[in-house]
Amino acid sequence: MSTPSPTTVRTTCPYCAVQCNFDLHLEGGLPVKVTPTKECPVARGTVCKKGLAALSDLRHPDRLSTPLLRKGGELVPVGWAEALAYVREALTPLLERDPGRVGVFGSGSLTNEKTYLLGKFARVALKTGNIDYNGRYCMASASTAMNRTVGYDRGLGFPLEDIGTSDLILLVGANVAETLPPIMQYLKAAKDRGGVIYAIDPRATTTTKVAGRGLNLRPGSDGVLALGLLRQMKLWGKIRPTAPAHGMAEVLAHADAYPPVRVAHECGVAEADFLTLARAYADATKPLILTGRGPEQSAQGTDTVQAFINLAFLTGHFGKPGGGYGTLTGQGNGQGGREHGQKNDQLPGARSLRDPRHRAEMAALWDVAPEELPQPGLSAQELLNACGQPTEQGGIEALIVLGSNPVVSAAGAGQVTERLRALKHLIVIDFLPSETAQLATLVLPGSMWCEEEGTTTNLEGRVQRRRRAMTAPGAAREDWRILCDLAAAVGRAQGFTYGSFRELQDEFFAATRGGKADYSGLSAERLDRASAQWPVRSADGPDTPHAYAPGYPTPGGLATLHVPDVRVHLPAPRALTLITGRLGNQYQSGTQSRRNPALKAEATAQLHPDTAAEYGLKAGDPVRLRTAHGEAVLPVALTPGIRPDTVFLPFHWPETANLLTDPETLDPHSRMPQFKGTALTLHPLGVAASLAGAPPALRAAAPL
């Protein structure tokens, strides 16, 4: 890798899990231009619109640069001494009485080092088990299914370039063109070689247009589709297991109950279209299944992903170059963020907090007794639901949030907002005043992506350096330093007195040694030479581009296939179902992207023209949407490619999609909320009708 000039810093994009590299060109110590680099091992010289616009996020007028403490109902600027005194007075009595009354909520956008430190901070400084993060809303179901099957998960167990060698790609609920744009070059490479691509989704997306083939199945029926495909592979003699595994006979017998007529009925597709897809899969030599949030963000997400893993494994493609199964991680460090300790049941290196051996290993590193480490606490949605609840019901009294905006991103956002308001203490560490920060009792100004060192891990398990290019403004501090300040404030500074970031980073790499996600062979110097895909077990040893070859980190080295429990709830005639997702010009809860003038987008309710006509609606008309969990008012967008029984809402804005989603129904395995597949009703509003409850942007746009 060539060395950039002294006025140029090479780093990673702050947005999606592709983690493109680009050069920041500096003048007067401030970045003024972004240049993609052809030496990027994943994007190969491309950066999407969000990455190119990332400089607009820096020095934004809303940027937080001093602590804010709530006094008299208002957040007012204070110094760090007063802010940390508040932390000491607020948290110390709770920690002495019951550490479980304090919760920690992290983020898939944190570097690996911050992920590690946040988990250590919760369990060693606070001694609470109630830590989880917003990645629970992203990859949890696929991660759980992979772990249950082969003992660990790397979203893609192969390099991205392998996609280009596939001859059939099934994109299941994955709108790659808008959510992970740089990956489109690999899909194009597959098409150029004669490969066939199917976009399987309740709506025809931008990806569908590029793919060329689509299957608009009913929301929540993806698992039935996978079972039907497995049944056809069995019928046509295509069962050739990747390796010996537990549960194969039971899984194959269960698939017998899903003939084409049932699949067509429950998926809401033509039987002939299903059989065409099945034949394409049977005839392919390197079929690849890639799932996204579509099938995963539901109360049966783990079982749905399990059905696709079973299909890939039993047909002999799982773990093979160019074929098999993978899941497309969404958040910037979604992969690394779920490996190193901010999940409620996890320790660094993807160790289990429930495993006595793993607990002993981390306790020795952290110089505490194993029994001092708390047991797993509440998962993300359960943690938020417990906020402000009575103590006798296991309520959380104080919550620390780092780099996340659950007021927008959590299921049942209205209920979550009320729960956060009921907290005694809400401490938010962020760099912009998110909707969650605006509810806080204390806001601490943290660091942005180019103001800190660290590493991130992309969707193919590739670890790359994030380099510091500038300093945080005003009194803002690097996030890792703030966590150390908080530990000192509650009188537990031991283990949190790093002399430099490098000291923390070296401890992090060492902490992963012997874990499934082993980074111990990495260092800043090695990553300066080249990125590496984990596991990397020694400083002079190789990395692991292909992670899923047989001989798995399971008892006996065998995979375990599970019979999936997937059920399609067929709606009544003319009933509507809500699905949610992302837009190409926005990102996650929108804290950054909604403020970026280069990333224009509108929150709308996407309806099929026939559905709109049935309700007397035309494009731009306001409509009230109601579910059992809340309501929202949005303008209508006519979308011919969506199923007539489906409504799509983007989730980047407050007062929109997640006001309507279910905060109580969780996947029994992954604890993923039911984001997709909520029953919905429409209530048209005339132009002159009241827009009470509408987002401010819609109220402002309404004609007088």
Contact 411, 391 (CB under 8 A): no
β-pair partners for 33: 25
Q: How far is CA 527 from CA 154, 160, 524, in A?
A: 19, 19, 5
Task: Report the distance separating Cα 677 and Cα 644, nearest Å.
Answer: 14
374 DSSP assignment: P
Confidence class of residue 694 from pLDDT cuts 50, 70 and 90? very low
Contact 364, 80 (CB under 8 A): no
Choices 3.40.50.10210, 3.30.70.1150, 3.40.50.740, 3.10.20.90: CATH for 70-137+341-454+474-515: 3.40.50.740
Which tokens is 411 given?
């299921």
Task: Report the distance separating Cα 443 and Cα 90, nearest Å.
Answer: 14
Mean pLDDT calculated for residue range 213-232: 97
Which tokens is 119 given?
């988990």
Q: Which tens digit of pLDDT belongs to each residue from 413-425?
A: 999 999 999 999 9
Contact 58, 448 (CB under 8 A): yes
Confidence class of residue 64 from pLDDT cuts 50, 70 and 90? very high
- CATH 2.40.40.20 placement within the chain: 576-701
pLDDT at 597: 86
Q: Which tens digit of pLDDT belongs to each residue from 472-487?
A: 999 999 999 999 999 9
- Residue carrying the six token digits 């920041």: 24
Which tokens is 385 given?
């639901």
13 DSSP assignment: -
DSSP states along 18-60: T--EEEEEEETTEEEEEEE-TT-TTTTT---HHHHTGGGGTT-
Residue 435 has pLDDT above 50, yes or no: yes
Share of the chain above pLDDT 70, in %: 97
Q: What is the CATH number of domain 141-327?
A: 3.40.228.10
Contact 292, 174 (CB under 8 A): yes
Which fold would CATH assign to domain 8-57?
A: N-terminal domain of TfIIb (2.20.25)
- Evaluate the omega torsion of the peptide bond into residue 535 and state whether it is cis, within 30 degrees of 0: yes
pLDDT at 513: 97
Kindly provide the residue ranges of all beta strands, DSSP E only, lying in 446-570, ordered along the sequence.
454-457, 462-466, 532-533, 559-560
Task: Report the distance separating Cα 613 and Cα 348, nearest Å.
Answer: 54
In three-state secondary structure terms, 324 is strand
pLDDT at 2: 52
The number of beta carbons lying within 10 Å of the beta carbon of residue 539 is: 12
Nearest CA among 17, 679, 686 for reference residue 328: 17
pLDDT at 28: 84
Confidence class of residue 331 from pLDDT cuts 50, 70 and 90? confident
Q: Which tens digit of pLDDT belongs to each residue from 22-43?
A: 898 988 888 888 888 888 999 8
Contact 187, 269 (CB under 8 A): no
- CATH 2.20.25.90 placement within the chain: 8-57
Residue 668 has pLDDT above 90, yes or no: yes
Worst-scoring range by mean pLDDT, 85-89, 291-295, 586-590?
Answer: 586-590
Phi, psi of 200 (to 5 degrees): -105, 110
Q: Which tens digit of pLDDT belongs to each residue from 542-581?
A: 999 999 989 999 989 999 999 999 999 888 888 999 999 9
pLDDT at 697: 40
Mean pLDDT calculated for residue range 72-77: 96
Contact 155, 459 (CB under 8 A): yes
Mean pLDDT calculated for residue range 128-138: 95
Mean pLDDT calculated for residue range 340-359: 96
β-pair partners for 323: none
Confidence class of residue 698 from pLDDT cuts 50, 70 and 90? very low
Average pLDDT, whole number, for the chain?
A: 93
Confidence class of residue 3 from pLDDT cuts 50, 70 and 90? low
- Residue carrying the six token digits 């012997």: 514
Residue 658 has pLDDT above 60, yes or no: yes
Contact 291, 142 (CB under 8 A): yes
Mean pLDDT calculated for residue range 395-415: 96
Which tokens is 624 given?
């009230």
Task: Report the distance separating Cα 128 and Cα 122, nearest Å.
Answer: 6
Contact 160, 42 (CB under 8 A): yes
Paired sense of beta strands 196-200 and 605-607, if any = unpaired
Paired sense of beta strands 324-327 and 346-347, if any = unpaired
pLDDT at 6: 58
Choices 2.40.40.20, 1.10.8.60, 1.10.10.10, 1.10.540.10: CATH for 576-701: 2.40.40.20
Of residues 45 and 65, the one with the higher pLDDT is: 65
Task: Report the distance separating Cα 346 and Cα 272, nearest Å.
Answer: 45
Residue 703 has pLDDT above 60, yes or no: no
CA angle 450, 454, 460 (to 5 degrees): 105
Task: Report the distance separating Cα 115 and Cα 108, nearest Å.
Answer: 8
Contact 341, 515 (CB under 8 A): no
First-to-final CA distance of the chain: 59
DSSP states along 227-250: HHHHHHHHHTT----SS-EETHHH
Provide the residue type at 168 as one letter: L
- CATH 3.40.50.740 placement within the chain: 70-137+341-454+474-515
Share of the chain above pLDDT 90, in %: 81
Most confident of 69-73, 206-210, 581-585: 69-73
Residue 701 has pLDDT above 50, yes or no: no
Task: Tell me the H-state helices in 220-347.
Answer: 222-235, 248-255, 260-267, 271-283, 293-296, 301-314, 334-337
Q: How many CA atoms lie within 13 A of 324 on its CB side?
A: 25
Contact 103, 126 (CB under 8 A): no
What's the predicted TM-score (pTM) here? 0.94
Kindly provide the residue ranges of all beta strands, DSSP E only, lying in 92-181, ordered along the sequence.
102-106, 131-133, 168-172
Contact 418, 27 (CB under 8 A): no
pLDDT at 702: 34
Nearest CA among 414, 330, 293, 404 for reference residue 676: 293
Residues contacting residue 704 through CB under 8 Å, at least 6 positions apart: none
- CATH 3.40.228.10 placement within the chain: 141-327
pLDDT at 51: 84
- As separate numbers, helices (DSSP H) first and strands (DSSP E) second, the chain gives 23, 30
Q: Which tens digit of pLDDT belongs to each residue from 597-640?
A: 888 889 999 999 999 999 999 999 999 999 999 999 999 999 99
β-pair partners for 105: 132, 401
